[in-house]
Amino acid sequence: MTERDHREGETIEAVEGEAHVGAREEMRRAKRLAVLETGARMFNRRGYDRTRLEDIAAELSVSKRTLYYYVASKDDILFQCNVMAYESLEPALTVCADRAIPPLERIRTLLRAYARLLADDFGACLVLTRENLLSPEGAAILRDSRRRLDITLRGLIEEGHADGSIAPCDPKLAAAAVYGAFNWLPHWRSPAKTPGYGEIGEAFLDLLFDGLVAKGRDAPA
C-alpha cells in the first residue's frame, strides 16, 4: 500500500467515524424528544403532580434510570417542554419585528401561531402547569419568554394606535384579554375536537378585530 493509499484510507475511516457519531447523536436527540413529548402528554392528561418519572418510563417501556440519560429530572422535562414551545414561536416573532408589515397583520400572524402552539402538547404545558413548580432559575427564564410575548403584542397594539388601525385602548389590558382567551383553550376543549384550535383562534381574532356590535348600530351605554 502506497503512502497515498494509506492517507486515503485514514480519510475514509475518519469520515465514517464522523458519520457514526452524527447518527448516534441524531438518535439520542430523537429519543430525548420522545421523552419530552411523552412527559408533556402525560402532564397535560394526568396532571404534573400525579405524573411520576416512573410513569413516563413505563409509557416508553424503558427503565427510570434510562430517562436520566436524556433529562435531569421531572422538573427538567417540564422546563424543556416549555422552552421548546416558546422556541416554536420564533418565526412568528420574527414576522412581528418587521415594521413593513401592518400591525394588524402581524397580530394575526402571532396569534395564529399561538393557537397552533396551544394545540400541541408542548404548548398546552405552558398554560396547564404552573411556573412555580420549576426551579427559580427555570421559572425566571420562562417568565422572560412569557414577558416577551406580552410585550410584543402590546407593542403591536401601540403601533396600531399610531397608524389609526386600532382604536384607542390600554395595550396592557388588551393583551391580557387576548392571551386570557387563548390560554383558556386547553382548559376547556380538546384540540382533537372540531372545530379545532385554528378555527377557534380565527373566531377569536374576528371578535378581537370586529367586536360584537353590528355595523351601523350604536353600542349600549
Give the predicted TM-score (pTM) of the model: 0.84
Report DSSP letters for 106-173, one per residue. HHHHHHHHHHHHHTSHHHHHHHHS-GGGS-HHHHHHHHHHHHHHHHHHHHHHHHHHHHTSS-S--HHH
Q: Is 110 in contact with 152 (CB distance < 8 Å)?
A: yes
Task: Please give the domain boundaries of the chain with CATH numbers for all domains.
Answer: 3-71 (1.10.10.60), 78-210 (1.10.357.10)
Query: Is the torsion defined by CA of 83, 89, 95, 98 positive or negative?
Result: negative
Q: Does the pLDDT of residue 3 top 80, yes or no?
A: no
Alpha carbons 54 and 52: distance in angstroms, whole number: 5
* pLDDT tens sequence across 18-68: 556 678 888 989 999 999 999 999 999 999 999 999 999 999 999 999 999
Alpha carbons 76 and 162: distance in angstroms, whole number: 42
Which among 81, 85, 83, 69 has a CA at the least distance from the CA of 25? 69
Phi-psi group of 133: left, alpha or beta (phi > 0 → left; psi -120 to 50 → alpha; rest → beta): alpha
* pLDDT tens sequence across 129-144: 887 788 889 999 999 9
pLDDT mean over 141-160: 96
